[in-house]
Structure 1
Amino acid sequence: MRFAFGTLTALPVRVTRWDRTAARGGMVCAPVAGAVLGLCAGALGGVLLLLGAGPLLAAVAGVAVPAALTRGLHLDGLADTADGLGSGRPAGEALRIMKQPDIGPFGVVTLVLVLFAQTAALAELYADGWAAGAVALAVAAAAARCALTLASRAGVPAARPEGLGAAVAGVVPVRTALTVAAVTAVVCAAAGALLGPWAALQAVLAVLAALGAAELLLRHCRSRFGGVTGDVFGALAETAATAALIVLALG
C-alpha cells in the first residue's frame, strides 16, 4: 500500500521498499490509491456545489484535484507518450523524445482534448447532483489505476532498463491482475448502486470501457516502443479515466 500511494500519488506516504515484491503489492493496490484520489476530487466538487457553484466549476475542480494530488505525473506521461507516438520515429528515437523535458505539439493537443473531455463529462454528471459526480470520479479513478495493474502483468516488458516502468513491468501474475480487475468492477458496481440499478450497470460498463481503451493503447505502445515506461503508465491512466467518464456521462 505504501508503494501504491508513494509512487502513484503525491500524498505524504514514504516508500520504504523498492523491490519487485513491493512493486507487485503496490500495483495490486493501485485501484485503492485511485479511489482515494477520486473521492477527494468528489468531495471538493460537492463543497463547491453546496457553496452555490455551477456544475462546470465543480467539474473543473474534479479534474484539477487528481492532477494536483499526482503532481501532474500522469498528465505529463500522457503528453510525452503522445509526442513519442506522434513522432513516427523508431523506438529508440521515440523514447528519447519522450525523455525530453519540453512538450511537443502532439502532447499539447492531446492534453487539451483529454482535459476538455474529462471536464465536459464531469459537468454533465454534476448537473445531476453531487452524488453522481462523486461516484463518477471514484469509479473513473479506480478504473484508471486498475489499468495500471493490468499493464503490470507478467509478459508485458519494459521499454527501458530503468525508471518506474522497469520497476513494475511484469510484476503482477496474470491471474492476479484479472482478479483485481474483477474486484474493481464489482466495487464500482456497488458504488453505482447507491444511485440506482442502472447506475450500477453503467459503472461496470465504464470500468470495462476504461480497461479496454487502456489495453488498446498498451498494445500500440508495446508495438511502437517495445514495452512500457513510466510515461506510458501515465498515458494509460488518463486514457482509462477519460473513457470511464465519457461512458458514465452518456447515461
Structure 2
Amino acid sequence: MNFASLPMYDLPELASATGAWWAGLAAHMQRQGIADVPEVCAVPDDLERHWCSPNLLFSQTCGYPLTHQLNGKVRLLGLPVYACKGCDRDGFYSSVIVVPGSSNLFSLADCRSARAVYNTDDSMSGLLALRAAAASQHDQADPFFRSLSRSGGHRRSLQSVADGKADVACIDAVTFALLSRIEPELVSRVRVLGQSPKVPGLPYITSLTANAETVERLRTALRQAMADPALSDVRAELLLSGITFPDPAHYNVILDLEAAASRLTLA
C-alpha cells in the first residue's frame, strides 16, 4: 500500500486547503495511470522513517534533510513555487530575520549577544539560515548570540520573539506570509530586519524505488495540477504558483552555506 503526506506548511487553519490540494493532486495522478494513490494524506510520527519507506508515493521535505539524512534515500520530484515576498519564480526562497517590534535592534549586527530561537535542528530556514546570517557578521571563535533555544516550530519561534522571550529568529518566508494572513496580530508584534541567503525551496519527493516511468507520470500530474483552473482557489490559499524541476545538484548550495558558516559558534 502506497502512502503520501504533505507535512510542510501544515498549519491547522490550512488543513482544509491542504486536503483539497492533495485530492486534486491525487486525481491528476490517477489520470496519469498511477496505481494505489492514497485517498488521504498520512500524518506520520516519524518523518524520516516515513520519507525513506519504499511505499512512499509522494511527500514534501525541507532542503536540509534532502541534502543530509535523506541523501541517496529519496528521489527529487519537483520544486513548488510560492507567490510571496522572499520567494523567486525559480523556487528559491529565503527566511525573514525577525525581532520584537518594540526592540532597539535595527540591524543584524545589533543582534550580537541577543537571545536567538530556532525551530528544529534539521531546518534550513530556521537554524542554518540563522547561522548563515550570523556568519555574515561574525567570524570569530566566541559565540555570536548570548543564548540559543529550540522552539519546535516556526510559529512557536515567532510567538517567542513577539512575546519578548527571544530577541531574534529566522522564519521561513512562506510560513511568515501564511501567518501574516492567518494570524496578523502575532505578525504585527515583530519587525523584519532582513532576509537570509536564498536557497532552493521545499521539494516534493518520492521513494527512491520509483521507476523512471512513475516519476515522469508524477511530474506530469504536478504540472497539470498546478495549471488546473478548478484548483486555482486552493493554490491561492496555499500560495502555490507553479512547479519547477531543478537538478538535484542545485541543492548543494545548502551544503556550501553550511561549510561557510561551520566555524561560527552561535551560542
TM-score range, shorter chain: under 0.3
Structure with bigger gyration radius: 2
Higher relative contact order structure (alpha carbons within 8 Å, sequence separation ≥ 6): 2
- Output the TM-score relative to the length of structure 2: 0.22
- Output the TM-score relative to the length of structure 1: 0.23
